[in-house]
Amino acid sequence: MHAVNIGPEFGKENLKFVDVEKPQPRHGEVLVRIIKAGVNPIDYNLIHGKIVYNLSPVPHVPGSEAIGVVESDGSIFRKGDHVMVYNRVFDGTCDMCRSHREHLCRNGGIWGVVTNGAYTEYVALPERNLFRIPDKLNHEVAVSLPIGGLTSYRALMRAGAKPGDSVLIYGASGNTGIFASQIASLMGLEVYGVSRKDWVRDYGCGQVFKTGEVPADFKADIVINSLGADFWKESVSHVATGGNIVSFGVLTGREASLDIAHLYTSEIGIIGSTGGSLEDLSRLLKLAEIHDFKAPVATRMKLMQISRAMDEFEKIRDGRIILEVS
């Protein structure tokens, strides 16, 4: 079967399309034929050597979000089931796992980073990492929920979001921003987006500010910064007194300065959030079955076009990049 490989040299110019052996499921696993895979900041950063998490193995098959069809019967899933991948590797025994925070497993990590990932034709996965795709859920939303949707959902929960709150979302047209807007709107929040794209209004943003044009006196109860250092100082300045800023991305850098006096005199909470738990994804899927989440797609490409997909990721796009695998 075919797979994308990167490493030990990184950068899109070092991506290779290689032949590898078809995996054989072990106890507790099933074989999954990948249908679609997404391209998100985790994948882009990994391919370019900007690795936040431990990487294994090297050379490496990237890809952290995918949907597929089960190809072998297991104890929970049967051949032909359409599934999405919960993209966290976890042992189920550490204190984090036992407290239903599998995404923080002390001995785990992100599937597609600490293990080979989705940019291949077949994968063998533990059944506990799979969720059936509801019939009404389209494939573009399904492939996006376990990262973009789940990360946004968890961030809003950690920030204590409640009806009537206001939220300002940096990168409202990005992978997570699209879902953060929809989920926050569904929860009854006043949603404001920061984006060059006016179409984000169609995804729950009541008002959209152009990048760099948020009024200086504008404040929100919750500010979501998925972009990193370049927008850190600005985003903190828009947190209301007693409010929270949530961070889960470093696309524009991972180090930033902070006015500590402003932090404590305004009692601003800084919250780090990453992915979400199995329970979070289960709850999000129940919402997706009731409400019509949307995930705009800018480009669909074949897996062998992965280098071009990296080029497209660097551009200002109207939606997601989806790789058609099989």
pLDDT mean over 5-21: 96
Percent of residues, the chain, with pLDDT higher than 70:
100
pLDDT digits (tens, 9 = 90+) for 245-302: 999 988 788 899 999 999 999 999 999 999 999 999 999 999 999 999 999 999 999 9
- Topology given in CATH for the domain delimited by 2-133+296-324: Quinone Oxidoreductase; Chain A, domain 1 (3.90.180)
Residue 251: the pLDDT is 79
pLDDT digits (tens, 9 = 90+) for 75-97: 999 999 999 999 999 999 999 99
pLDDT mean over 18-39: 97
Residue 194: the pLDDT is 97
- Topology given in CATH for the domain delimited by 148-272: Rossmann fold (3.40.50)
Mean pLDDT of the chain: 96
Residue 26: the pLDDT is 96
- 67 Cβ contact partners less than 8 Å away, ≥ 6 residues apart: 34, 35, 36, 82, 83, 84, 85, 133, 139, 142, 143
Tokens 């293990």 belong to residue? 115
- pTM value is 0.95
Residue of 41, 93, 79 whose CA lies nearest to 62 = 41
Residue 43: the pLDDT is 96
Residue 326: the pLDDT is 85
Residue of 271, 293, 286 whose CA lies nearest to 223 = 271
Structural domain boundaries in the chain: 2-133+296-324, 148-272
pLDDT digits (tens, 9 = 90+) for 146-162: 999 999 999 999 999 99
